[in-house]
Amino acid sequence: MSSIVLGVSGGVAAYKAAFVLRAFTEAGHDVRVVPTPGALHFVGAATFEALSGNPVTTDVWSDVPEVAHVRIGQHADLVVVAPATADLLARAAMGRADDLLTATLLTASCPVVFVPAMHTEMWLHPATQDNVATLRRRGAVVLPPAVGRLTGPDSGPGRLPEPADIAALAMVVLKHGADSLRPDLSGRRVVISAGGTREPLDPVRYLGNRSSGKQGWALARVAAARGADVVLVAANVDLPVPFGVRVVPVGTAEELRTAMLAEAVEADVVVMSAAVADFRPEVAAATKLKKGSAGEPSAVPLVRNPDVLAELVTKRTAGQLVVGFAAETGDEDADVLTHARDKLARKGCDLLVVNDVSGGQVFGRADNAVIVLGADGSATEVPRDSKDAVAAGIWTAVAARLGDPPSR
Ligand code: CTP
Distance from Cα 270 to the centre of ligand 1, integer Å: 15
Q: How does residue 361 score in pLDDT terms, banded at 50, 70 and 90?
A: low
Q: What is the pLDDT of residues 83-118, one digit of tens each?
A: 999 999 999 999 999 999 999 999 999 999 999 999
Task: Name which residue sits closest to atom 21 of ligand 1, judged by CA.
Answer: 326
Identity at 406, one-letter amino acid code: P
Sorting pLDDT into bands at 50, 70 and 90, what band is 59? confident
354 lines ligand 1 (CB under 6 A): no
Residue 124 has pLDDT above 80, yes or no: yes
Residue 207 pLDDT > 60: yes
pTM: 0.95
Tell me how far the alpha carbon of residue 227 lies from the centroid of ligand 1, in angstroms.
Answer: 28
> From the alpha carbon of 274, which atom of ligand 1 is closest?
11
Of these ranges, 155-159, 247-251, 366-370, the one predicted with the greatest mean pLDDT is 247-251
The set of residues, in sequence order, having a beta carbon less than 8 Å from that of 149 and lying 6+ positions away, is 155, 159
Q: Is 215 in the pocket of ligand 1 (CB under 6 A)?
A: no
The pLDDT, as a whole number, for residue 407 is 67
Please tell me the predicted confidence (pLDDT) of residue 198: 98
End-to-end CA distance of the chain, in Å?
44
The rounded distance, in Å, linking the Cα atoms of 353 and 380 is 9
Q: What is the CA radius of gyration of the chain?
A: 24
pLDDT one-digit tens code per residue, 290-347: 998 887 888 999 999 999 999 999 999 999 999 999 999 889 999 999 999 999 999 9
Strand, helix or coil at 354? strand
Give the tens place of pLDDT for each residue, 4-45: 999 999 999 999 999 999 999 999 999 999 999 999 999 999
Residue 254 burial (CB < 10 Å; 0-12/13-18/19+)?
Answer: middle
88 lines ligand 1 (CB under 6 A): no
Q: How confident is the model at residue 60 (pLDDT cuts 50, 70, 90)?
A: confident
- Residue with CA nearest ligand 1 atom 9: 309
Q: Which atom of ligand 1 is nearest to the CA of 346?
A: 23
Cα–ligand 1 centroid distance for 371 (angstroms): 17
Backbone angles phi, psi at 276, to 5 degrees: -95, 130
Residue closest by Cα to atom 8 of ligand 1: 307
DSSP H helical segments within 4-64, as ranges? 14-26, 45-52
* Among 167, 174, 198, residue whose Cα is nearest residue 22: 167
Q: Which of 123, 131, 126, 189 is nearest to 157 (CA)?
A: 123
Contacts of residue 174, Cβ cutoff 8 Å, sequence gap at least 6 = 2, 4, 77, 78, 111
Q: Using CA atoms, how far apart are residues 202 and 365, in angstroms rounded to an integer?
A: 30
pLDDT on residue 95 = 98
pLDDT at 408: 66
Which residue has the CA at smallest separation from atom 6 of ligand 1?
A: 276
Task: Encode pLDDT of 132-174 as tens digits.
Answer: 999 999 999 999 999 877 777 778 889 999 999 999 999 999 9
The Cα 333–Cα 53 span in angstroms is 57
pLDDT score recorded for residue 111: 98
- Residues in a beta bridge with 242: none
| Full set of structural domains in the chain with CATH | 3-181 (3.40.50.1950), 189-399 (3.40.50.10300)
Report which protein residue has its CA nearest ligand 1's atom 4: 307
Cα 307 to averaged position of ligand 1 atoms, centre (Å): 7
pLDDT over threshold 70, residue 397: yes
Taking the CA of residue 306 as reference, the ligand 1 atom at the shortest distance is: 8
* Residue tagged active-site, from 131, 209, 305, 355: 209
Q: Could you tell which of 207, 256, 278, 305 is best to mutate to test the pocket of ligand 1, judged by most ligand atoms within 8 Å of the CB? A: 278
Active site (annotated) includes residue 209:
yes
- Answer yes or no: are the C-beta atoms of 260 and 248 closer than 8 Å: no
Is 18 near ligand 1, meaning CB less than 6 Å away?
A: no
∠ CA 29-30-33, nearest 5°, is 120
Q: Does the pLDDT at position 351 exceed 80?
A: yes
Q: Identify the CA nearest to 116 among candidates 244, 292, 294.
A: 244
Average pLDDT, the chain: 94
* Binding site membership of 195 for ligand 1 (Cβ less than 6 Å): no
Residue whose C-alpha is closest to residue 375's, from 401, 403, 336: 401
In the reported structure, the alpha carbon of residue 306 is separated from the centroid of ligand 1 by a whole-number distance in angstroms of 10
354 Cα to the center of ligand 1, angstroms: 12
